[in-house]
Amino acid sequence: MAVDPLLNRFCKRFGGELEGAEHRLLLESVPAWKRPLWFLVNRFNPYAFEHDREAIRDAARATSLEDVDHVLENLRYRSRTNPNVWRNSIKLRLSATRLLSIARKCFVGNA
């Protein structure tokens, strides 16, 4: 039996089409009060959050909470080895806690 990846479960749980769901998952993982600044920085420097986008792509393919946790550990490691002023100084990045909460809701239910 094949297990649905997080992205499919996200669409089923929160509604919406599969197309564009990865972007919605990324936005849901960024705290709401940081989104306007995130959009602004992203507009002028599209590669500023490439590590976050890669993490969302990997998390979207995850088939369990453990896989999502592993993706976030990889993101933390990449963030330490490749410093980024937006991530480290301004703390403008996706929230691991928010992403894990979304994954928990998708894989476990009303957790």
Does 89 have pLDDT greater than 90? Answer: no
Element containing residue 59 per DSSP (H, E)? helix 50-60
Q: What pLDDT shows up at residue 56?
A: 94
Q: What is the tens place of the pLDDT at every residue in 36-50?
A: 999 999 899 888 888
Q: What pLDDT shows up at residue 1?
A: 45
CA distance 1 to 16: 25
Does 110 have pLDDT greater than 60? Answer: no
At residue 41, what is the residue type?
V
Q: What pLDDT shows up at residue 15?
A: 87
CA distance 67 to 99: 12
Confidence of residue 78 (pLDDT cuts 50, 70, 90): confident
CA distance 76 to 106: 23
